[in-house]
Amino acid sequence: MSRRFLSCLLAAWLFVGGCSADRNLGELLVPDDVGVLVLDGFLVVGRPLPAMRLTRTANPDATFELEQITVPDVARFLVRIWRDGQVLGDPIEYRYNPNIFAYQPAPGVGGVHRVLPDTRYDLEIVTWAEERLTATTTTPPAFSIPEWVILDEAGESTMQTLTHYDEVTFPDQVYKENEVVYSVGLLEAQFERPDVPAFQVGIFSLDLDSDYVIDPDFFEEEDFEDLDRIGSSPPLAGEDGTLRLPWFAIYFEGRYKVKIYAMDQNFYDLVRSAPELSGGGPGFGGQIGDNFERPIFNIEGGIGLFGSAAVDSIGFFVKPRP
């Protein structure tokens, strides 16, 4: 009996042991969605109507080259503006301008069109192969942040109020006036919340050769090299009209610019469903979780972004801890 038992055990071992758990990693890249139209258009309230890019998805197993996936021209590329339930004027026609599509303001209509708040913009694209791509965005209300403050560690009282300038005329003077010491207090934006789904914070270290202000024990040398001077947050609800900036998003001393975007639904849906657009982690497939899934694009006939936002910003200078 013992011999039979051990023989069965050995046979099973040999049988299953012969099956390797290694595989060609290229099998994990499945080119099922290559050639899909990709739109890249983002409108900012108060700024000129932007140029847009139209490309196609590429093979996941090949080197990505923008020139090869750019759509060179289309049969129709129109933007319609809606106000009070009616189209405002004639559709704005976009034309191919190497690598991007841009519009030429028609003479005698007031020059460049600046994106209007609380306004619906419709997009329609038809390729020569009669593929049709459509999308709609409704721009957020105009947005500004009147109070940028440094709170004490408990978040109860204001230690410092930062000087705020207009987003467009932003002078360098602001960095000298707004000096903050790294990790002292809590940086908070206080505003009257507009009716938008969420906000996203972008943070920019402007002095590209400045020193690190962080020096954690658990960092290796290569970890410092991975630190980016530009970062963004996940979408934040900011339901009480405040957003608090974490110090762990700041790695360098010197000038910083922080932008807060009041997002439209399309921008919000894309960022919340595509973690890599908000400084999120890598995509996982398998048993670790369900966060690797197709983002919400809100585009018919393709993927990408046709979204909008209203934005305000602050500048300050980060000094290392004494």
Window 125 to 164, contacts with another protein (CB under 8 A):
153-155
> Cβ of residue 8: shortest distance to another protein, in angstroms?
8
Site string for another protein, 87-126 (x = CB under 8 A): ----------------------------------------
Taking CB under 8 A as the binding criterion, the range among 79-87, 136-144, 157-165, 302-310 that sits at the site for another protein is 302-310
In the set 132, 259, 301, 317, which binds another protein (CB under 8 A)?
259
Window 184 to 203, contacts with another protein (CB under 8 A):
186, 198, 200-202
> Cβ of residue 86: shortest distance to another protein, in angstroms?
29
Window 37 to 66, contacts with another protein (CB under 8 A):
38, 40, 42, 53, 55, 57-60, 63-64, 66
Question: Cα angle vertex 128, ends 122, 130, to 5°?
Answer: 65
> Cβ of residue 263: shortest distance to another protein, in angstroms?
9
Q: Six-digit token pair at 39?
A: 């739109």
Taking CB under 8 A as the binding criterion, the range among 115-123, 129-137, 164-172, 277-285 that sits at the site for another protein is 277-285
> Cβ of residue 315: shortest distance to another protein, in angstroms?
16
Structural contact between residues 150 and 158, judged by C-beta atoms closer than 8 angstroms: yes
Window 9 to 28, contacts with another protein (CB under 8 A):
9, 12-13, 16-17, 19, 21, 23, 25-26, 28
Write the DSSP symbol of residue 27: G
Q: What is the C-alpha radius of gyration for the chain, rounded to an integer number of angstroms? A: 25
Taking CB under 8 A as the binding criterion, the range among 36-44, 105-113, 122-130, 158-166 that sits at the site for another protein is 36-44
Q: Which amino acid is at 81?
A: I
Residue entry with tokens 């009209």: 241
Whichever of 90 and 228 has its CB closer to another protein, that residue is: 228
Q: Distance between CA 2 and CA 293 in Å, rounded?
A: 51
Q: How far is CA 256 from the centre of its chain?
A: 19
User: Of 54, 46, 34, which Cα lies nearest the Cα of 299?
Assistant: 54
3-class state of residue 7 by DSSP: helix
Q: Six-digit token pair at 110?
A: 């007031």
Whichever of 88 and 149 has its CB closer to another protein, that residue is: 149
Whichever of 88 and 236 has its CB closer to another protein, that residue is: 236
Structural contact between residues 310 and 143, judged by C-beta atoms closer than 8 angstroms: yes
Question: Cα angle vertex 21, ends 17, 27, to 5°?
Answer: 150
Cβ-proximal residues to 246 (8 Å cutoff; 6+ apart), any chain: none
In the set 146, 230, 241, 300, which binds another protein (CB under 8 A)?
230
